[in-house]
Structure 1
């Protein structure tokens, strides 16, 4: 089972004068809510996690939802072929990368059939076996993580719940059953 989590950093706090209600996309994605993130396979007790303290966690959640959608669209058929349902078992491989803007490290996603393998550039060579999850689980957990994160952040930061970018983001990626 996939578990996605985060911890906000005390070393990189948000500027105290921040108006969360009117923060723009760039600020929300790159300047605010820094910390660390992890993806864990609770069945095998393995995880990929950052320990840098500066990862913009809202951007991570946003990018993870984008990647799940990209991997789904990439599995769509060529023109003239029968349309595949979202989350189909198309053979692939289909790839996507999540890069961390302040480093050269990346999370790499490879979808084959209905499964997604996730690897991290910073993992030690002896621990390079990918985390593997069903694509539908990645999509569901990424969206749940986004909504849970937004709920936590809006509880902590006055005005964030009124930010139109946050409204758009959560409506673009609704929770899935």
Structure 2
């Protein structure tokens, strides 16, 4: 079972004058909602997490949804034997999450972990569903904190692009 989570940072708060209703995509993805994120395999009790405090959490959720779609472009889908690769880089660092999909399974590795640490492995369909659930749950949490964010057109577009899956 995959668990994706976050914690907002107290060290890097959003600027108090932020107009969340009018925040542009760059601000939403790079300047706001900093904290830490994790991906956990609850069955093996292993996780990949950041502990930097400055990761743009909404950008992480957005990029994760993009990556899940990117590694699903092979027409053979879950029958594809050729590996499909993607990476999620963290803007303020050289660290990356590496994704490799083969036969419907996705391995996720973190460059900052020791090379002896095995990757987390999930089915692509579970990763897609959980990434989208995480995105929608995160947006709900952030709009609870900042009600005007619910009126931001970029958030509407993001939610429409990556709807929840059954």
Q: TM-score range by the shorter chain?
A: over 0.9
Unaligned runs of 5+ in 1: 77-83
Task: Report the equivalent of 1:91.
Answer: 81
Cα distance in 2, alignment partners of residues 125 and 113 from structure 1: 23
Contact 2:8 2:34 in 1 (8 A): yes
1:1-177 map, 5 Å: 1-73=1-73, 75-76=74-75, 84=76, 87-127=77-117, 129-177=118-166
Unaligned runs of 5+ in 2: none
TM-score by length of 1: 0.92
TM-score by length of 2: 0.98
Which portions of structure 1, spanning 4 or more consecutive aligned residues, are displaced by more than 3 angstroms?
Answer: none
Structure with larger Rg: 1
How far residue 125 of structure 1 moved from its aligned partner, in angstroms, is: 3.0
- What SS does the corresponding residue of 1:151 show, helix, strand or coil? helix
How far residue 160 of structure 1 moved from its aligned partner, in angstroms, is: 0.1
- What SS does the corresponding residue of 2:71 show, helix, strand or coil? helix
